[in-house]
Amino acid sequence: MTNFQIISAIFIGLAAGYVGSFMILRRMALVGDALSHVALPGLAIAILLNINPFIGAFATLFIGIVFVWLIENKTELSTESLIGLIFTVSLAIGFLITPESELLEALFGDISKISAVDAYLSVIFSAILILAMRGISKGFILSTISHDLARASGVKVAKLNFIFLLLVAIAVALGIKAVGSLLMGALVIIPAITSRSITSSLRGYTIASALIGLISLLGGMAIAAKFNLPPGPIVILASSALFLVSLLFSKK
């Protein structure tokens, strides 16, 4: 593995695990999974226009989160089913417009192609993401456990939810290069559920989730590189293996 790959994996793993821990507390596992599919058409467009895939993925993800936010905050519609619909549609569109030669990479990622620019982008955005998430975490947790209590305490819940979704979009866009749009959802979900079964405080849970994200991504990539396997699926299998191990140490 190159230094660029290692640095990217460290930061993306931390950021995905950290933001994922908060998604799980909101029961947003499926939203995260579906949202990662929205990146696919963006990736395809970026490939066709020959621009950085991070930008393309983030552009469609941004549209995706605006959509989620509007459903959650401005309508009474059932979020789950509509998200399921729109996101499979975007997967279908993405599948159609992605050039066939690039399709596998878009779906499953290829961190071996990470450039210096990608690595710098990963470091900068991961750092911003972690700091911003830390900044909104108190209000976020308060509004998760009681919407009314949060609002009565002066938390601007709708605004905070939008910032949160924005951070999720950044995490997904960052991770796609590494594990692809099909599997990115797993990289935000699995470290969090692993961490949840072995920790009891919020602090412990979020930090452990970030570290497990890092170990999964870096470890999975190292194993994939050694045995010449595709990194995306190996990363997910590595994180799932950690989850199974965590069950042995479960605090319940």
Partner 1 sequence: MSIKNVNILSMGEEILKVEKLSVEFYGQKVVENVNFSLKRGEVLAVVGPNGSGKSVLFRALLDLVPYSGKVTWQKGIITGYVPQKLAVEKDFPLTAGEFMALRGARPEKETEKALEDVGLHKKNKGYEWLLDKKMGQLSSGQLQRLLIASSLTGKPDVLLFDEPTAGIDIAGEETIYGLFRKLQASAELTVILISHDLSVVHDFTDNVLGLNRKQIFFGRPHEVLDHKLLHHLYGEEVERHHHDRDISVL
Write down the least CB distance from residue 173 to partner 1, Å. Answer: 27
Tokens representing residue 44 in the block: 């395809």
Q: Which of residues 5-44 bind partner 1 (CB under 8 A)?
A: 25
Residue 193 near partner 1 by CB under 8 A: no
Contact residue for partner 1 among 3, 81, 101, 200 (CB under 8 A) = 200
Residue 246 near partner 1 by CB under 8 A: no
Residue 131 near partner 1 by CB under 8 A: no
Tokens representing residue 251 in the block: 């605090």
Residue 38 CB partners (closer than 8 Å, separation 6+): 60, 61, 63, 64, 86, 87, 90
Residue 211 near partner 1 by CB under 8 A: no
Contact residue for partner 1 among 59, 107, 196, 214 (CB under 8 A) = 196
Contact residue for partner 1 among 11, 164, 205, 243 (CB under 8 A) = 205
Contact residue for partner 1 among 113, 156, 159, 203 (CB under 8 A) = 203
Tokens representing residue 25 in the block: 């507390």
Tokens representing residue 182 in the block: 């099909």
Residue 221 CB partners (closer than 8 Å, separation 6+): 1, 5, 9, 111, 178, 231, 234, 235
Residue 158 near partner 1 by CB under 8 A: no
- Residue 190 Cα to chain centre, angstroms: 11
**CA pair distance 154, 185, nearest whole angstrom:** 32
Binding footprint of partner 1 on the chain (CB under 8 A): 25, 138, 141-142, 144-146, 148-149, 151-153, 196-197, 199-205, 252
